[in-house]
Homo-oligomer: A and B are copies of this chain.
Amino acid sequence: MPRTPATKYHQLRDFLRGRIVSGEYEVGTTIPAERDLQATFGVSRSTVRHALRDLTDLGLVRATVGVGTVVIRSRPAVQQSSLRGFTEDLAVRGTPTTAHVVSAVISPPPPHVRDRLELPATEAVLHLVRLRSVAGTPLALMHNFVPASIGIGVDEDFTRPLYELLERDHERFITYGRDSITARAAREDEAQHLDVSPGTPVLNLKRIAYVEHDRPIEYVEAAVRGDLYEYNVTLLRGKERR
Q: Which residues of A contact B (CB under 8 A)?
A: 27-28, 46, 57-59, 62, 72-75, 77-84, 163, 171, 173-185, 199-204, 209-210, 212-214, 224, 226-227, 229-242
Q: Which of B57, B62, B173, B230 contacts A182 (CB 8 A)?
A: B230
Most buried by B among A84, A185, A199: A185
Q: Which chain B residue lies CB-closest to A75?
A: B214
Task: Report whether A203 and B181 are in contact in the complex, using a CB–CB cutoff of 8 Å.
Answer: yes
A-B contact pairs, 8 of them (CB 8 A): A58-B241, A59-B175, A83-B236, A177-B235, A178-B232, A179-B234, A181-B230, A182-B230
Q: Which of B28, B57, B78, B178 contacts A214 (CB 8 A)?
A: B78
Q: Which residues of B contact A62 (CB under 8 A)?
A: 173
Q: Which residues of B contact A200 (CB under 8 A)?
A: 185
Q: Which residues of B contact A79 (CB under 8 A)?
A: 241
Q: Which residues of B contact A173 (CB under 8 A)?
A: 62, 72-73, 237
Most buried by B among A163, A209, A232, A233: A233
Q: Which chain B residue lies CB-closest to A223?
A: B183
Task: Report whether B202 and A74 are in contact in the complex, using a CB–CB cutoff of 8 Å.
Answer: no
Bound: A213/B224 CA distance, A: 35
Task: Report whether A235 and B82 are in contact in the complex, using a CB–CB cutoff of 8 Å.
Answer: yes
Bound: A233/B84 CA distance, A: 13
Q: Which residues of B contact A178 (CB under 8 A)?
A: 232-235
Are A231 and B180 also in contact (CB < 8 A) when A82-B237, A201-B201, A214-B75 are? yes
Task: Report whether B201 and A202 are in contact in the complex, using a CB–CB cutoff of 8 Å.
Answer: yes
Task: Report whether A81 and B230 are in contact in the complex, using a CB–CB cutoff of 8 Å.
Answer: no
Task: Report whether A236 and B82 are in contact in the complex, using a CB–CB cutoff of 8 Å.
Answer: yes
Q: Given A82-B237, A178-B234, A184-B201, list of 4 further CB < 8 A pairs?
A: A77-B175, A82-B238, A82-B240, A177-B237
